[in-house]
Every structure is written in C-alpha cells, then in structure tokens.
Amino acid sequence: MSAPERIPPRGVTATELLTRGELTVRGRIREASNVVLLCEAALDGETVSCVYKPVAGERPLWDFPDGDLARREVAAYEVARATGWDLVPPTVLRDGPYGEGMCQLWIDPPESGTDGEQPPELLALLDTEEPGPGWKAVGFAEVGEGRTALLVHADDLRLRRLAVLDAVINNADRKGGHLLPAPGGRLYGIDHGVTFHTENKLRTLLWGWAGEPLTGELTGVLTALHKDLAGGPLAARLGELLTGAEVAATGRRVEALLAAGRHPEPGGDWPAIPWPPV
Ligand SMILES: Nc1ncnc2c1ncn2[C@@H]1O[C@H](COP(=O)(O)OP(=O)(O)O)[C@@H](O)[C@H]1O
Ligand SMILES: [Mg+2]
C-alpha cells in the first residue's frame, strides 16, 4: 500500500472508502488492549487496509466514560486535519460487523532495503547526562539493576507538531509504539482513544520542548485552530463527537497555549510519561 494521499489511485478518497466501503475482517491484533481488527474496506473496485475498533470491544477505563473511545479517535483526526499537518491517518466513525466503531487507514512501514536507507530513530536511551545534537531530553529512566539512562526523542519537526497536537487534544497516552513512520518520510500518530478529557491528562514522551517558546508556524496553526473552534466547522464537527464541555475545554487549551506562547510543561499529580514508554 502507498501513502494515504495516493490512496486510492482513482476516484474515491480514502475517507469515502473507510466510510462507505464494505468491511471484511482479516485478522485481530493480539497485543492491543482493546479489540483491534485488521480489515479491508472495498468500494467501487478499490480496496484499502484499515483498522476497525468496535465500541463493543473497548476495555472500560476508570477515568473515561464507557463506549466513546472511538469517537475520541475520530475527534483527534478531525483536529489533526484542521491543523493541516498530516499526522493522524484518516479516521471515521461507522457501523461494522461488530457494530459502531472507528475505522482508520492502515499505515504500512516505509519500504526498506532498496537504497539501504532507514528512517531516523525517534527514541533512544542514552548513557550520558546530556542529550547531544539531534536529540531532546525527556528525563532519566530506570533501566534495571539500579541503573538509569537518559530517555530522549529526536529533535524532529514532525514530533514537535505532534507534541502541540497532543497538548490540544489532551492526549493521555502518547507512547513510542503509537508513532508510525510511513513511506515518503511521513510520520503518523495513532491510538487516540484517551483524549479530550476536560481535566489535564497530558501524558506523553514528547516533553523535549517543554517550556520552549512556540515557533511562528506553531502559533499560526494554533491561532487558526482557535478561530475554527470558536464557532467554525471544527466546533460543529467536534460537537457531534464530544460533549459541549469537552469541546469548550479544547478551545481553552488552545487559548492557554497561545497565551503562554510556550510548549506546556509537565506538572500536577498526573504521571506525565506513559509507562512503559514504548
Ligand atoms: N492505522 C494503523 N496503521 C498501522 N498499524 C496500526 C494502526 N492502528 C493500530 N495499529 C497497530 O495495532 C496496534 C494496536 O492498536 P492501538 O491503537 O494501540 O490499540 P489499543 O486501543 O488497543 O491500544 C498498534 O500498536 C499498531 O501496531
Ligand atoms: Mg495502544
């Protein structure tokens, strides 16, 4: 499969295929905590691979209401789309063989081998006190036998945008396994079920820019989001997926980011780093 903007090759868009295509379950992803089914969606002779997470297969959580993780995943995609950053694969809400659920375009890893080029590493554990060039420090982590190592992530514009997106959607679970490198130098974030809580739940690996001033590009995108959330199409779309309080809290998070002019810093009593981090 090729990159999302080239899928499908003719006619229908990926979103239409995901929304209206006939779903056939091909397998189940065992290591997932919720029911995650690998499917094919077929429409007008076009086929794409996708994941389908039925609401009926969502594991209940203590701090989120039951039965709406799928809607949060779609809401995260809608906000990502509004930023113009291609950071979340197309995600829709639809009916499927196990009832209503989210359906998301499957992201294949980048082709490897042809020119021997590997995508750059996004995360690392270093035996040093300082991150060094190309890396941003997250914090020191216990690595067993009483040893600690410095957890770092790449100083990468895509990750920086994702860190801002996570602050907007209040992502409570941005771990390494939810970062998917894709063909064409792309990077996607997935697994956005625990987002949009009205209380601060930001739990992420991407703290490397914490407290640093937002760049002009980031501020510009946040300013546009703010407008879109104040009665624009995004507010209307999110209103179909989230509670009024959750949409209002999203607007307030954008306002707070713009007022501070800086990346957020971890704080409070919520564990700020998901564990395990990958
Ligand atoms: N859109 C996708 N493209 C490629 N792989 C995916 C996609 N969505 C999920 N996966 C794979 O399925 C695994 C489980 O999905 P995830 O969204 O983490 O489920 P859960 O809600 O159970 O945590 C991921 O770790 C990833 O390997
Ligand atoms: Mg997961």
Q: Of 24 and 121, which is predicted with more confidence?
A: 24
| DSSP 8-state class, residue 74 | H
- Grouping H, G, I as helix, E, B as strand and the rest as coil, residue 261 is coil
Domain boundaries, the chain: 4-108+156-260, 123-153
Residue of the CA atom closest to atom 14 of ligand 1:
32
Whether the per-residue pLDDT at 277 is higher than 90: the answer is no
Give the residue whose CA is nearest to atom 2 of ligand 1: 106
What pLDDT band is residue 2 in, cutting at 50, 70 and 90?
Answer: very low
Question: Is ligand 1 within 6 A of the CB of residue 106?
Answer: yes
Q: Which pLDDT score, from 0 to 100, does residue 143 have?
A: 82
pLDDT tens digits, residue range 19-51? 999 999 999 999 899 999 999 999 989 999 999
Preceding omega of 271 cis (within 30 degrees of 0): no
pLDDT over 70 percentage in the chain: 91
Contact present, 51 and 38 (Cβ < 8 Å): yes
CB atoms within 10 A of CB 127: 9
* CB distance 258 to 226 below 8 Å: yes
Chain segment 40-93, per-residue pLDDT in tens: 999 989 999 999 999 999 999 999 999 999 999 999 999 999 999 999 999 999
The pTM of the whole model exceeds 0.85: yes
Give the model's confidence band at 275: pLDDT under 50 very low, under 70 low, under 90 confident, else very high: confident
Q: Measured in angstroms, how far is the CA atom of residue 8 from the centroid of ligand 2?
A: 27
